[in-house]
Amino acid sequence: MFDIRTPFSALGIMTLLAVSGLFSGCKQDSPRRYTEIAFKSKGSPMTALDIPIHITWTVPGGWIEQPGGDPLRVASFLAPDPSYTDSADMDPKALDVSVVQLGGDAGGVEANITRWMRQAKIPPSPDMTQNIAAHAESLSVVSGQRGIIVDFTGLLAGDMTRTTSIIGAIVQGNGYTVFVKAMGDRDRLMTLRSQILDFCRSVSIVEEKK
């Protein structure tokens, strides 16, 4: 029989504190603004920036910032369905949202559309890639740079059992390219499409003076 007088072990107390911190960290009250400073890379020519840039954005309420790990990512977020915002449970279909910066034109718009199509297991072809680039929705970010919105939710993967898709933005500037990509379940992408587009439009890219 359990004795209520039995004290918790130190390990038990630490475990309870960790679980409590995890649940409290999942809750977001209102949109927050983060700032990331991008320094000129000393890596490959693809990642090196001709001009260092500062990138800021406004995060939709409920999105959860993720720790770093990918050196190409400026930031990473999980975007859950709004119904999970006030829940201790994590959305199993939360989207992976990334902000990435690369130097120059990063290989060009069409090459990056093809790369994203492969990530979503959508069979690319030159004609399809050109058509997507030519008819992509235009985008203007807060700082004035223009780009395009890439939306694959209307395309089917080669493996019909897969539902992974992508909605993102490609913005090219003076010696750099910034990518915002939301990847995950197609239905969840369509549900959160307005949040994703608002996030893309909220990006501000400020070039540092040499």
Tokens representing 131?
Answer: 């058509």
Q: Tell me how crowded residue 172 is: count the other CB atoms within 10 A of its CB.
A: 19
Residue 55 tokens read as 């990138």
CATH topology for 29-207 is Jelly Rolls (2.60.120)
The enclosing H or E element of 189 equals: helix 186-191
- The DSSP H or E segment spanning 15 is helix 10-25
Q: What is the pLDDT at residue 48?
A: 54
Of 166, 147, 161, 179, nearest in space to 38 by CA = 179
Q: Which mean pLDDT values do the consecutive 10-residue runs of the chain (210 residues) have?
A: 38 38 41 38 45 91 87 92 83 95 93 96 94 96 97 89 94 94 96 97 88
Q: How many CB atoms lie within 10 A of CB 117?
A: 23
For residue 116, what pLDDT is reported?
97
Residue 160, exposed/middle/buried by CB under 10 A (0-12, 13-18, 19+)? exposed
Q: Kindly report the pTM of this predicted structure.
A: 0.76
